[in-house]
Chains A and B, each alone.
Chain A
Amino acid sequence: MEAGYGSAMSTTPAATDGSATRERLIGGLALALKERRLVDVTMNDIVRHARVSKRTFYEHFADKEACFIALYREGCDRVAEEQARALRPEQQIGDLITRLTQVYLATMAAEPVIARASLSDIFGGGPACLAVRREQHERFAEGMRSLFAGAAQLQPGAGIRPMTLEMAAAVVGGINELVLREFDAGRGDRLQELAPTVDGLIRSVVLETR
């Protein structure tokens, strides 16, 4: 994960393709976020890290916020990909919950800068950011709901309780708050310590008995 944005930049030195340039700009913002918080990142920071001109920036994004939203969406895509790779509804339900927790916390811990910006800055960014945040929350909530619905079907008698989308959305929101709190308290490198709490939260909602 750590290789993600940094290496994309160094391996595409002479990108002329539009989407590659766009990736460079998103990577530029990701690097800038390692130096300062989103609110303090300037256009100059982004284009300097991306090694493109300001004019090129505006060919791809209307402003810093639009670039940040693209970065946020990509971060969410990668968390979703990791989840899709690691989680299958046929996995024994206890293992499945443990794994879901591990994968989520590990992807957050692997890119702390982007994770923190995604939890905090997207929340503080105004209506456009909130709309995208909501779209991604719904995506993860639906992913969780359908994962456990599939598990309930494949593992009858395992005591798996069907989860409404509403309940899944509340669980996603609750877990994100816990992770954000860890980042804010300077414990971003110890996210795994949240595992028992997150695990217990999901178990309470999904399993009929403990």
Chain B
Amino acid sequence: MRTSRYLHGMPSARREHRQSPAISADDAAGLWTLLTGAPPATARERLLVGMAAAIQERGLAGSTVADVVRHARASRRTFYEHFRDRDECYLALYEVSVDRLVWLFENSLTPRDDWFAEIAGASEVYLTGLTAVPALARAGIAEMTSLGPRALEVRHAGLQRLADVLITLHDEARQRHADVPSREISPEQGLALMAGLHELVLVRVQEDRIEDVVTELAPVSARMTYLLGVVSPD
């Protein structure tokens, strides 16, 4: 039941998880399907599912290798064959999540008459994907930065990839709406825009209201993109 809600990105998922912290193997596999589009196939992927399940249960800070292997029904030995430690396992999960977000975002543009509505729609798809599993969103936005320099590198790389998608989407939209005077968004501007948006998401995570991210921030994201990429006055 809960799995299908994750699949639909229901914002209520986190509250529900708080009431019943234990999550079943089916839930965990469903979570993985949500992240990758396919069930876990390898030992490594099952460990990453275990990591995701552990985070659902205890958050990133509270998750240990013991939790991961328990959820993955794997041995410690198997774990250490794939990952040096918990952090490395988490960062691998983070990268898988970014892959999924990049894919979602790349396919988020629905042609519409109105340039702004088009970008707002894409922003909504992106932010819905980002917050679909609130516990993972919290880990990726508010917790992972404390894992040290390697984590910050991984975060940087992820933000840049997402920024590049944003720039590409913007280019597509401006070609379709050639009547609106517009300009390219540079890689630096795109990065600043993405980082700025994530900053606003972080505030909502800190205020414990991830469920407000999509409705509150999709318009802000679209407006920022519009202001950076459109030449004419409002």
| A pairs with B | yes
Majority secondary structure of chain B interface residues (helix, strand, loop or mixed): helix
A54 CB–B CB distance under 8 Å = no
B85 CB–A CB distance under 8 Å = no
Q: List CB contacts (< 8 Å) of B41-76 with chain A.
A: none
Specify which chain A residues have a CB less than 8 angstroms from the CB of B200 in the assembled complex: 166, 169-170, 173
Task: Name the residue on B nearest A125 (C-beta).
Answer: B146
Task: Name the residue on A nearest B183 (C-beta).
Answer: A210
Jot down 11 A-B pairs with beta carbons below 8 A, ordered by A.
A124-B151, A124-B152, A125-B146, A134-B202, A134-B203, A173-B196, A173-B198, A177-B191, A184-B153, A208-B233, A208-B234
Specify which chain B residues have a CB less than 8 angstroms from the CB of A130 in the assembled complex: 142, 202, 206
Beta-carbon contact of A174 and B196 below 8 Å: yes
User: Interface-forming stretch among B19-27, B165-173, B221-229?
Assistant: B221-229
A209 CB–B CB distance under 8 Å = yes
Q: How far is the CA of A175 from the CA of B224 in the complex (A)?
A: 14
Specify which chain B residues have a CB less than 8 angstroms from the CB of A166 in the assembled complex: 200, 220
B195's partner among A126, A134, A173 (CB-CB below 8 A) is A173
Specify which chain A residues have a CB less than 8 angstroms from the CB of B151 in the assembled complex: 124
How many A-B pairs have beta carbons closer than 8 Å: the answer is: 94
Specify which chain B residues have a CB less than 8 angstroms from the CB of A131 in the assembled complex: 206
Q: How far is the CA of A194 from the CA of B186 in the complex (A)?
A: 12
Is the interface on chain B under 10, 10 to 19, 20 to 34, or 35 or more residues? 35 or more
Q: Can you name 12 extra interface pairs (CB under 8 A) apart from A170-B197, A184-B156, A200-B189?
A: A124-B152, A131-B206, A169-B200, A170-B193, A170-B200, A174-B199, A181-B191, A201-B192, A204-B189, A204-B227, A204-B228, A205-B224
A120 CB–B CB distance under 8 Å = yes
A197's partner among B159, B192, B223, B224 (CB-CB below 8 A) is B192
Specify which chain B residues have a CB less than 8 angstroms from the CB of A204 in the assembled complex: 189, 227-228
Q: List CB contacts (< 8 Å) of A116-174 with chain B.
A: 120, 123-127, 130-131, 134, 137, 159, 161, 166-167, 169-174
